[in-house]
Amino acid sequence: VQAPHAIMRGTEGDTRLTAPMRFSGPTAVINDRIGTRDFFFNRGHFTLNTHIDASLNSPEEIITTSDGQLSLRNLNVHYRPAGLLFPFRSIALSKRDKDIRFKLQSGVLSTGFIFGLEGTLDKLLPLLLDRPADSIRTEVVLNAPRLDWTNFLAIFGEDGYLDNAEVGEGANDLPQ
Closest CA to 60 of 157, 130, 155: 130
- CA–CA distance, 156 with 40 (Å, rounded to integer): 21
Per residue in 80-124, pLDDT tens? 887 777 889 999 999 998 899 999 999 887 677 788 999 999 988
pTM of the model: 0.76
- CA–CA distance, 174 with 3 (Å, rounded to integer): 31
Rounded mean pLDDT for each run of 10 residues along the chain, 176 residues in total = 83 91 89 74 91 91 92 88 84 93 87 87 81 81 81 66 47 35
- CA–CA distance, 28 with 19 (Å, rounded to integer): 24
